[in-house]
Structure 1
């Protein structure tokens, strides 16, 4: 295996999405620390290793199963697959097998971590559920993204990924996390809708039934903006709910949320129809979401 092949394999991993998952994982872990959970670096590393393997496997399996769809489009920064298999079809079988290997590694690490640190079974269930959701997102027989369930599947990751970070340190899933996860799931809706917007034509040709394929790009931007509005409202109502986190100023989090909200509303007002103009707005929306979660994590670290 030469160096160029290794680079192609790395590109298949879509590491920008891995970083996004890591930030959501950290949000859950930091929330646990704000609720006086005990910090344990070894436990955190082992738990994240199981999540990392699961998350990485999704990129390889999706590129494999979406091979036909991806031939209809050029990849963008955040959508359309990596494009590696389209130009290097000889790597298809490797991509599938590597995805399965990563899933097996993830489940194995989850079992070891659960036993070694006496974590609740909910940790293993979250890892297992994340693996199955990622695989069947595009794999038969479920093929969730081809049956109009891509948005629901992605919204669930807004619970699973930070939930793994939370349960590792807190040792349980409780009402505090369930409430905090609501805006995170809404942001995952904003995320997947914006990923689907540039792929509308190709997804339609490939038989996917995403919300954007069915209802159009403008509908997608509207749904993304509504999700951002609801997330901001969720943070506004947090002080009215007894989360037992006196060290968090929810007004600051609400101010941070105005970044994705403002760009989401701007996208609706722009009313982009063609793919080229839509991609610019999508990139801005997804970048704003990254900035938001980085700001939240930074503030949480400061508040501990």
Structure 2
């Protein structure tokens, strides 16, 4: 395998998206520690070793199953696929086989984790995550083609932080389920953002996304609404009495970042692809920075800074 081929395979993986998954997994882990569970590097590393290949598999499987759609889309920083298979169709069989291999690796490590730490909940979450990752684009379910892509992505806001939480605790409970609600909302914020530039291509390729059905302007309106609901959800969590060590006023303050970018995108909303893509280049990074700030805040709680 020559160096150029290796570079194409790496580009196909779109590794930049792994960072966001790692941040969300870490949030779940840190929440578990804040709630008086002992941190364990072994659990953290082995737990993330389950998420990493599962998350990476999405890039390879999506580009494989979206091969025809991606002929109509132009790759951008966050959308349109990698473009590798369109220009190098000979890599299609590799992409499919490698995606399956990554899923098998993820499930194998999840089985090892479950055996070592006796956590059936962890295994079930890992299986659900891999299932959703594969069938986002793969037949026969093809969530993204049947109007269910937004729902399946929103569910990842439950799956990923919960995987980090259960990696430490060994069990699911009401605390992580409720705390995942804002993450599900922001995953909706995310998926609508990345669908917006691809409207024309997705429509030609037969993808039944929210943006294809309702247009870019409506997409920006829902992103704006998701920002408001996300901030409000932190306020409601503060009334549960389940998170005594967390100052939800700080979390609400941090949530103003995606909220303000959502407001800005809404006020500048447009149906033109180029201008809409520039707005998405604000909304998506705002989510990444937001989760980084949450993790940093949680670290200050843990270390009493």
Give the TM-score normalised by the residue count of structure 1.
Answer: 0.98
- Aligned counterparts of 1:198 and 1:211: Cα–Cα separation in 2: 12
> CA shift at 1:238, angstroms?
2.1
Given the alignment of the two structures, is residue 95 of structure 1 paired with residue 95 of structure 2, yes or no? yes
Cα-Cα RMSD: 0.8
- Corresponding residue of 2:285: 287
Matches within 5 A, 1:246-265: 246-265=244-263
Contact 2:73 2:202 in 1 (8 A): no
- 1:26 alignment partner, SS class: helix
> CA shift at 1:122, angstroms?
1.3
Count of paired positions: 302
Given the alignment of the two structures, is residue 45 of structure 1 paired with residue 45 of structure 2, yes or no? yes
- Aligned counterparts of 1:236 and 1:108: Cα–Cα separation in 2: 39
- 2:192 alignment partner, SS class: helix
- Aligned counterparts of 2:46 and 2:237: Cα–Cα separation in 1: 31
- 1:198 alignment partner, SS class: helix
- Corresponding residue of 2:74: 74
> CA shift at 1:262, angstroms?
0.6
> CA shift at 1:171, angstroms?
1.7
Given the alignment of the two structures, is residue 267 of structure 1 paired with residue 276 of structure 2, yes or no? no
> CA shift at 1:15, angstroms?
1.1
- Aligned counterparts of 1:147 and 1:238: Cα–Cα separation in 2: 33
- Aligned counterparts of 1:10 and 1:298: Cα–Cα separation in 2: 29
- Corresponding residue of 1:186: 185
- 1:197 alignment partner, SS class: helix
- Aligned counterparts of 1:64 and 1:22: Cα–Cα separation in 2: 24
- Corresponding residue of 1:213: 212
- Corresponding residue of 1:129: 128
- Aligned counterparts of 2:170 and 2:89: Cα–Cα separation in 1: 44
- Aligned counterparts of 1:124 and 1:224: Cα–Cα separation in 2: 33
Matches within 5 A, 1:1-304: 1-119=1-119, 121-243=120-242, 245-304=243-302
> CA shift at 1:44, angstroms?
1.1
- 1:272 alignment partner, SS class: coil
Deviations 1:202-224 (A, max 9, x none): 00000011000000001111111
> CA shift at 1:246, angstroms?
2.5
- 1:67 alignment partner, SS class: coil
Deviations 1:99-146 (A, max 9, x none): 000011110000011101222x11111111111111111001111100
Structure 1 runs of 4+ aligned residues shifted over 2 Å read none
Q: Unmatched 5+ residue regions in structure 1?
A: none
> CA shift at 1:286, angstroms?
0.4
Q: Unmatched 5+ residue regions in structure 2?
A: none
> CA shift at 1:48, angstroms?
0.7
Contact 2:11 2:84 in 1 (8 A): yes
Contact 2:117 2:170 in 1 (8 A): no
Deviations 1:35-57 (A, max 9, x none): 01111111111111011111111
